[in-house]
Every structure is written in C-alpha cells, then in structure tokens.
Amino acid sequence: MKIIKRSGAEVEFDKEKIVVAIKKANDSVNDSQKLSLEEIQEIADAVTRSCDDMCRSANVEEIQDMVENQLMKYRAYEMARNYITYRYRHALARKSNSTDDQILSLLECNNEEVKQENSNKNPIVNSVQRDYMAGEVSKDITKRLLLPEDVVEAHEKGLIHFHDSDYFAQHMHNCCLVNLEDMLQNGTVISETMIDKPKSFSTACNIATQAIAQIASSQYGGQSISLAHLAPFVQVSRDKLRREVRREMEVLDIDVSDEKINQIAEMRVKEEINRGCQTLQYQVITLMTTNGQAPFITVFMYIDEVPEGQTRDDLAMIIEEMLNQRIKGVKNEKGVYITPAFPKLIYVLEEDNIYEDSKYYYLTKLAARCTAKRLVPDYISEKIMKELKGGDCYPCMGCRSFLTPDRFTDVGVGNIANANNYDEHKHKYYGRFNQGVVTINLVDVACSSEGDMYKFWKIMDERLEICHRALMCRHNRLKGTLSDVAPILWQDGALARLKKGEPIDRLLFDGYSTISLGYAGLCECTRYMTGKPHTDPTATPFALDVMKYLNDACKKWKAESNIDFSLYGTPLESTTYKFAKALQKRFGIIEGVTDKNYITNSYHVHVTEQIDAFDKLSFEAQFQALSPGGAISYVEVPDLQDNLDAVLAVMRHIYDNIMYAELNTKSDYCQVCGYDGEIQICEDQDGKLIWECPNCHNRDQDKMNVARRTCGYIGTQFWNQGRTQEIRERVLHL
C-alpha cells in the first residue's frame, strides 16, 4: 500500500509514522487524558484499514483527517484539539512558501500526481517540467493573490473546479477557431517575419503548421482549423504545375495536347496533396510547443463548407488523403505504425455523403474504416447542428467547446476583429474564442442537500453564484489585455487584426467570445436525489430540470453583462479523480454515488451501465441539446475493422439523432512482444491499477503504446488512478 505525500511523491505506507504522530499528541496532554499504548495501536490499525479500503493511494491530509476522527471516537478531545492546532500551524508555515516542494519533486520526477495529470504530456522531459514549474508558481500566485478566498476554498474542497489555474496569472484565454483563411489569403506574421499568400498547397500546409505551433504557445486550450481554408490552394498548385509541365514539354520539344498536360499536372497535384497532408500530420505530431506537448489541434472536414465545383472536389481529395494517412498511422520508436493522439479529426455527416448513392459516400466509408482503426474521425451531424445552432454548421474549438451562434453580425456590431475576410452577409465563427471555464460539481450539490429537494436548489444557487464570480475573475483577467501579448492571435489574423497597443476588450462582449459554466456528475447527482439513474424514465425529468436550471443561470448572467455565458459539458481528466476524492472525504462511500474513484463526465450515461449504442446516443441527444457551450457523446465498441457496416450504421444514427459523437475503439501495441491487441488494466500487489500486456505480461509503461479516448480527445501518456478505473470499467455498447 502506498500514500501520496504533500509534494506529490508516492511512497510506501508506514503505519509506525501514524503511531509516532499520535504518541507525540499523547505527550501533550495530562496523564488523565492520555490514551493507552493499546488504544494508540488500535487507532493506527483502524486508519490502516481505512486506507486499504480506499483502493487507491491516500494522501497525507486524508490520513490526518482519519486520525482526527479516530481521536474523537475515543473521546480524546484535548488531544484532538492539540493535533488539529499542530496541523494548522504547520499548514501556515507551508503556505508561506507552498511551491518549493512541488517544484523539487517535479525536477526529481517523483511527483506521482503530476505524472498522471495530463495524458498527453510526458513529465520527464525538460520542456514539460519547465511548463509545470511555471504552472506551480502561477497556481500559488492565483490562490494567494488573484482569486477571492471563498473561490479558492470552493476549488480546494472540490465544490467547483477553477480550470487551468496554472495559466491564470498570465493574460491567456482557453480555446479558439483559427481564422486560417484570413492568415493564408491575406498574409500573416510569424515570429516577426512577414508571410505572404502561399503560392502552392504544400506551402499553405507548412504555413498552417507553423501558425498552429505559435497559436498553441499563446493560449492554453485547443484550437481548430478547417481544411476548407486550404482547399483553394490546390487550384493554385494546379495552375502552377500546368505551367511547369507545359514549359518542360517545350524544352524537350515534345508536342502534347492540353488534355495530356492537364493529366500529367493532375498526377503532380495528387502528389502535392499527399506531401501537404503529410506535413500537417507529421509536423503537428512532432512540433513541441512552449508547454511541452504537441498542439491540441482539431482538423475540420466539411464538404459543403466550400462552393460546389472544382474547389469542393479538391477539398474531397484533401479529406481522402488525410483519412488514408491517418489509417496508416505513424511509426513509434520501434518503427511500428501506431495511433497518434493528434491532430483530432472531425468529419461532417451531410446529405452529400451519408447515403450510399451520395456523391461523396466513398469518403464516409473511408472515415468509417479510419474510425475502426484509429479512433478518429469524430462526427458532426450537419442536420442536427443546423437545428441547434441557428442554421449554421461549424467546428468545436478543440475537443468539444462550441461557440454560441453568431449574434453580433445580426445586431450590426460589425467587424470588431478587423478581419480582412469579414463578410457582413455571413455569420462569423473563425477568429472567435473561449475565455475560460469553471465547473460545478453537481454530485456535491446533491450530497450536501441530504436528499432534500428544497435544500438542493438552494445550495445550487449558492454554488452557481460562486461559479459566476469565479468566471467573472476569468473575464476581468482578460480585460485590458493588450494585443501585443500574443501578436499572432490579436494582430496577425488568427483571431483578429488589432493595432499594436490596442486592448482586446471589445472581443469579450457581444457574443464574439464565450465563457463556459462547466458541469460534472449529472448521473450521480440524479441517482442520489431520485434513487435511480438518469436513464430511468422517472428520473430523467429531474436530470433535464438540472440542465435547464444551469442554462437559465447562464441566460441571466448573459442578460446582465452582455457576455456570452454558455453551459459546457466538462471533459474531466485529472479532475474526475479530484472530485471523487473530495466527495469521499466529505460524505464517505455512498453506493452508486461516491463509491468510485471517478465521477461521470457531464451528462453521460455511467460507464458501467448496460445500454446499446443507438439507445445511448438517442438518450444523450436531449442533454447535448441543453449543453450549447460544448458536449460530445461516445459509444464504446469492440474491434470493428472487419465489421464496417456496424460503424456505418452508428454513423447514420448519429446523422439522424445527435449533433456530435464518437466511437471509442482500442489501439495498442506492446514493444516487448509485438502484441497489437488491447492492453489490459489489472491491479498490482498494493491494489494500484496498472497496464499489462495480456500476451507477455509486460507492465513497463515505457515499453508499450496505449491510446484511449480520455475526454473528447485521445490520450497516450497514461492516466491517474481515477480515470484508469473509469477506463477499466467501461462496458461495450455494441
């Protein structure tokens, strides 16, 4: 059995340290109030059993809480008071310089919590360590100086989660839709170097990847680009290649027809599309941003985003090549093709590709094959999205965060970003962004109410007010930010073309950007309040009422401030474990509610619940419609590489029923024995969940490649114990 120290390091549990601590407290009281050695041993044994029952590594604070509870149980009140006072004094001493131990443990690579914090960051490499070190300083400054005490307290207790506090000290926003069209068509600046309009498709792809890296280093969330913005450059290359072929034929004195010249040029066009797509895939994977990881980039593939004709056919060729290259995968250090985490791909299902007699149905079949092999693309239903988003279809910003429908164009606010491609007759999405996220823990609201419905809504109001003030802290932190802090974003076209020294304030209002109220644990919240899962028809109305209540709060705040607050289905990663531990500490183990080391993402059906793929997507669609700031649904499926009809059936169901969904398959490789099936999760002798090859029983994570959908995107660097348990307990829906 292990424990996690305050520094984050994981060490062996030592019962004798508990005995020594209690003896020291025992020495501080009169003889009449002292415990016997037998009683001290009994307390240490009880704490040991409690730690063992947790099925995870307890941290020092939790163990000290257990000791306090046991002292109270033995009526050693004076000793308990002294013990609490001792803890408080030492906590104050630690608070005066709270970052040293954390930073040192990062440098020594023994901070277990940080190791498992982000499933796409390797905490051993210097660039990641540098980012984490800066993050520890930012967290410390944020907690001590930048946030109100009650917001910090609510965050630390797990009542809310103030996301990305490791970046809050800087004036940075969350995620965005890159206006790549403006940057490519009208020029941009990267690292103080003027970049003109590219003269070929491959050059456009290269510029795009350089911009992606710069953007990722200037914000902390995901970004999305559209292949539609690259498609016009295929024709630029085509015209150029036709001229080159004609010139070559003339030099060689070969008389060829225009038709033959065009055929030769078209072959070279396809080669250039291959090179350009390869540039996008490999550079995105191999680029290292300043926060020590590949850019969190999503690539949008939407046929109808460009006019019918040659440009649309060119876009189809790009999509086809992107899918083919993703199916192939990338080589790991052993030279074996594996599944990369990025770029994330989104494929739009629409009239032109969903039916067998559709013009681009061949792309949909290719997408199905890619999903079965490599987990992506994910799917947006054009039909459902247009119903929910005012007739528009556009990508999310990263893994699931969606902008609100454009309202500033309709009310005449105009081109406040000074974009060179602004069209007053079209709704604008590219160039817009999200200001940040604060998440409410719905399970804690329920448990705090003790099942009293009146009390539940009263506590909900209190917690929402804390969230609102925390979100306004995010908004106010961005107010006054000058465009100079990130020129590629605010001056050179990615989001805007503001002047040097100009504040970004106008882009924070009128719906140009959004700010997100996240939520987590609707499933457990409903179970606690109704005694049934939210899939039960008698419990579903309560779950929907909670969603409507959260939306009403966002609408109220929006009306008061002209800021687009939007409800967001939080993609919990490390926070799922944090919330679960906090709930167990506050309320103990409640069956079906707090008995896991994770809580359920957003509105999702619990991962252990038996439900088929089609029913799950149809059920969750009603909640997705009430999560306008972002949400994604998934179905867990077995290996379907030999059953693409099943994949296509799910895709057609997505098209007809839900806006945004994905299929979760498995894509693993053991570097020791070459096994390429599913790497399993098992328990070691201490009860810790670990990954093991079922073929050779290799347990060395450095010698295996595991790819799992974590929370909207693919993770490849392994996960904390809470998320690992959640992955282990997922049932198949097909």
Of 471, 442, 730, which is closest to residue 606 (Cα–Cα)? 730
Does the pLDDT value for residue 648 go beyond 70?
yes
> Would you say how long the chain is, in residues?
734
DSSP string of 431-499, one letter each residue: T-BEEEEEEEEHHHHHHHHTT-HHHHHHHHHHHHHHHHHHHHHHHHHHTT-BGGGSHHHHTSSSS--PP
List 568, 603, 634, 660, catalytic entry: 568
Q: Can you tell me the distance from the alpha carbon of 600 to that of 107, in angstroms, rounded to the nearest whole number?
A: 33
Average pLDDT over residues 25-53: 87
In degrees and rounded to multiples of 5, residue 357 shows phi and psi of -95, 10
For the segment 53-77, what is each residue's pLDDT rounded down to a tens digit? Answer: 877 778 888 888 888 888 888 888 7
For the segment 653-663, what is each residue's pLDDT rounded down to a tens digit? Answer: 999 999 999 99
Q: What is the rounded average pLDDT for all residues in the chain?
A: 90
Annotated active-site residue 397? The verdict is yes
Annotated active-site residue 712? The verdict is yes
Q: Can you tell me the distance from the alpha carbon of 287 to that of 304, in angstroms, rounded to the nearest whole number?
A: 30
pLDDT band at 90 (very low <50, low <70, confident <90, very high): low
Do 491 and 483 touch, CB atoms closer than 8 A? yes
Rg (CA), the chain: 27
Please report where in the chains the tokens 């307390």 appear, as a residue: 43
Starting at the earlier edge strand, list the strands of the sheet with 714-715.
Answer: 667-670, 704-709, 714-715
For the segment 428-486, what is each residue's pLDDT rounded down to a tens digit? Answer: 999 999 999 999 999 999 999 999 999 999 999 999 999 999 999 999 999 999 999 99
Of 140, 101, 105, which is closest to residue 124 (Cα–Cα)? 105
Of 627, 365, 387, which is closest to residue 520 (Cα–Cα)? 627
Average pLDDT over residues 506-529: 97
List 276, 629, 712, 715, catalytic entry: 712
DSSP bridge partners of 664: 636
Please report where in the chains the tokens 């039909």 appear, as a residue: 383
Does the pLDDT value for residue 34 go beyond 90?
no
Instruction: Please list, residue by residue across 555-587, b when 16 or more beta carbons sit within 10 angstroms of its beta carbon and e when fewer do.
Output: eebbeebebbbbbbbbbbbbbbbbbbbbbbbeb
List 175, 183, 554, 651, catalytic entry: 175
Annotated active-site residue 573? The verdict is yes
List 105, 174, 179, 237, catalytic entry: 174
Average pLDDT over residues 704-721: 80
pLDDT of residue 74: 86
Do 400 and 712 touch, CB atoms closer than 8 A? yes
pLDDT of residue 451: 97
The whole-model pTM stands at: 0.86
Listed in sequence order, the residues at least 6 apart from 245 whose beta carbon sits closer than 8 Å to its beta carbon are: 261, 264, 265, 268
pLDDT of residue 106: 52
Ranges of each domain in the chain: 2-96, 163-174+401-419+429-600
pLDDT of residue 137: 75
List 434, 483, 597, 627, catalytic entry: 434
Q: Can you tell me the distance from the alpha carbon of 547 to that of 521, in angstroms, rounded to the nearest whole number?
A: 12
List 172, 277, 397, 670, catalytic entry: 397
- Specify the amino acid at residue 136: E
Q: Can you tell me the distance from the alpha carbon of 723 to that of 487, in angstroms, rounded to the nearest whole number?
A: 37
Does the pLDDT value for residue 104 go beyond 70?
no
- Six token digits for residue 80: 């308990």
Do 118 and 720 touch, CB atoms closer than 8 A? no
What is the H or E stretch that residue 635 is in? strand 633-636
- Six token digits for residue 567: 């409800």
Query: For 178-203, what is the HEC assignment?
Result: CCHHHHHHHCEEECCEEECCCCCHHH
pLDDT of residue 132: 66
Do 281 and 343 touch, CB atoms closer than 8 A? yes
List 179, 353, 401, 421, catalytic entry: 401
Pairing state of beta strands 2-4 and 58-59? parallel
List 573, 620, 636, 726, catalytic entry: 573
For the segment 258-304, what is each residue's pLDDT rounded down to a tens digit? Answer: 999 999 999 999 999 999 999 998 888 876 555 556 688 999 999 99
Please report where in the chains the tokens 């109410």 appear, as a residue: 449
List 399, 467, 529, 659, catalytic entry: 399
For the segment 150-189, what is each residue's pLDDT rounded down to a tens digit? Answer: 999 999 999 999 999 988 988 999 999 999 999 999 999 9
